Structure 1
Amino acid sequence: MHKASTDELRVIHRIGNVSLPVGNGGPLVPPLNPSYLFAARSENVLWDIVENRRILLIGHTGTGKTSLIEQVAAHTNQGVLRSNMNGQTTVGDFVGFWTVKGGETIWVDGVLPTAMREGLWLIVDEVDFAEPAILAVLTAVLEPGGRLLLKEKGNEVVVPHPSFRLFATANAVGAMGEYRHLYQGANVMNEAFLDRWRVHQIDYLSPANEALVLVRTFGERLTPAMAQTLASIAADCRDAFAREDLAGAFSTRRLLDWTELMLRTSDPELAAGSTIYAKVSAEDAALIRNIIRHHIALED
């Protein structure tokens, strides 16, 4: 009689054509977004997760790099830690540090060894803003075997749990390097570092897919035609950003926020005031208003 192996008994969850193992749950599992769309761009990322590749997602801000990983985790009941390289994250936060508690000196793991030991997924957001010491730590974990040496803790070696996965996001590296001037403070990532990652460029959703997301989110409150119009406005704003006519990008999150308030107020211009115009310069607001007027008749 055949005895099922541990691998055979492990529960899997299917997303599109890819079957992923289900995690152990817990409070670190991201909330599920039932309206989220796993577009065609997702499939190779999913396969790389299954194969335990180190994954670097690059693209403009607001393209959904982090949300892609979080929604995969939400669907597979997998806990996630995030570390944002915003200039405030130190090597101690990332790796760990000694501290005194109750008169006793104890070691506190940072996010990296915590994720490795507990089989969590770690997302290093904006890795192109990370300080060199953190990049050096990451480089060691990216090597085959991926073990972490805690020199500060007597050279303890952290062996990754089989469920551990490592992700990073960046705006201006590799194929996105030509946009580095749009992301002040971003560091140049050398090829040796990039070669240790499987790099995926994540673009904005197509207008058709973004319209579908709007319909899935708001249901009968939003007609398909209006959803397509709003998605086209977002696409035109992104084209303006790529031409550097706009200083900032137009995320799907911003589009959803605008749409929600628009449905509540029945006034696209009023809704845009607090969801779009107030967040940008007067010049950008004027240009975005013109783009909106090209698609929707607004009252003066």
Structure 2
Amino acid sequence: MATKSPYYRAIGKEEEVFRSAYKCKLPLLLKGPTGCGKTRLVEKMANELSTRLVQVVCNEDTSATDLLGRYLLKGGDTIWQEGPVTRAVREGHFLYLDEIAEAREDVVVLLHSLSDHRRQLFLDRSHESIAAPDAFQLIISFNPGYQTRMRRLKPSTRQRFVSLELSYPPVEIETEILAAETGANLSLCKSLAQLALRIRNMSELQLDETVSTRLLVNTALLIKQGLAPRLSADVGIVQALTDDLEVAQPLKDLVSLHL
């Protein structure tokens, strides 16, 4: 059980929505760009509600068997090894499936009975049905920016969830977040937040991902450690965003203007 609450700076009513969904035993879908605080919000709320967090980062190889469990041979015996989803449901934890849109279809299907009025998990292999305790909370997340090149969540799946959209914070709040996360001075944090705003507004660069708050934190930490500000921004932001020299140059020009 966590003892120290993770730092999270709310931008809107996301914490209030989260608490209400939990009290109503409704599953929650978080959508937002990379590094905007989805995972940190879940960690903070799990701590606040004194609940253990079971997190799975999904990918194209994530299958229902990986999450539910499997039979294994051990010392000549066949034993059942529970997966993270089964354990979370049985013990009444927060179950957070990050980047759910990247998982196989059978993973989404297994969530159906957990995300409606039944709140049950069916294990075909062990012929068992597990009713989720009141403390259990199902949370999934995805990045809407990936939806054009990856599998979409079906409307029938999305409509099972309370949906909460998160985004990058405004400059003032992002400055506050950077200062709290890194201990860097406010002037530097504000310059980084303003740089991020400029980059995020440059749609003509056609970046696969724009600069996240996470990248700003990394850059601020490098600068605080003593690395030159522009070099820190180059390795912490520019090189993380692109390998294309023609795209990197305007990013470096922006860095020079702000740092």
1:211 CA drift (Å): 0.6
* Percent identity for Structure 1 against Structure 2: 24
**Counterpart position of 1:165:** 137
Q: Could you state the TM-score of these two structures normalised by the residue count of structure 1?
A: 0.78
Q: Of the two structures, which has the highest relative contact order with CA contacts closer than 8 Å and spacing of 6 or more?
A: 2
**Counterpart position of 2:12:** 40
Q: Could you state the TM-score of these two structures normalised by the residue count of structure 2?
A: 0.90
What pairs up with 1:32-181 in 2 under 5 angstroms? Answer: 32-34=5-7, 36-42=8-14, 43-154=16-127, 156-172=128-144, 180-181=147-148
Q: How many angstroms apart in 1 are the aligned matches of 2:50 and 2:198?
A: 36
Q: How many angstroms apart in 2 are the aligned matches of 1:162 and 1:274?
A: 46
**Counterpart position of 1:11:** none
Match of residue 290, structure 1, among 250, 253, 256: 253
Q: How many angstroms apart in 2 are the aligned matches of 1:249 and 1:50?
A: 35
1:30 CA drift (Å): 8.6
Structure 1 segments unaligned to the other structure (5+ residues): 1-24
Match of residue 206, structure 2, among 245, 259, 280: 245
Q: How many angstroms apart in 2 are the aligned matches of 1:114 and 1:295?
A: 48
| 2:70 match: secondary structure | strand
Q: How many angstroms apart in 2 are the aligned matches of 1:212 and 1:202?
A: 17
Q: Is the 8 A contact 2:61 2:104 kept in 1?
A: no
| 1:276 match: secondary structure | helix
Change (3 A) 1:143 1:218: closer
Q: Is the 8 A contact 1:276 1:285 kept in 2?
A: no
Cα-Cα RMSD: 2.1
Q: Please give the per-residue CA displacement for 1:124-169, whole angstroms capped at 9, x wherever unaligned.
A: 1111112111111011211202111111112x11011221110000
Q: How many angstroms apart in 2 are the aligned matches of 1:143 and 1:213?
A: 36
Structure 2 segments unaligned to the other structure (5+ residues): none
Q: Which amino acid aligns with 2:225?
A: R
| 1:53 match: secondary structure | coil
Q: How many angstroms apart in 2 are the aligned matches of 1:168 and 1:283?
A: 36
Larger radius of gyration: 1
Q: Which amino acid aligns with 1:274?
A: V
1:114 CA drift (Å): 0.6
- Does 2:187 match 1:229? no
Q: Is the 8 A contact 2:69 2:81 kept in 1?
A: yes
Aligned length: 256
Q: Please give the per-residue CA displacement for 1:163-195, whole angstroms capped at 9, x wherever unaligned.
A: 1110000112xxx6xx633xx3x2122211111
1:244 CA drift (Å): 5.1
1:284 CA drift (Å): 3.5
| 1:144 match: secondary structure | coil
- Does 2:182 match 1:207? no
**Counterpart position of 1:20:** none
- Does 2:154 match 1:190? yes
Q: Is the 8 A contact 1:99 1:105 kept in 2?
A: yes
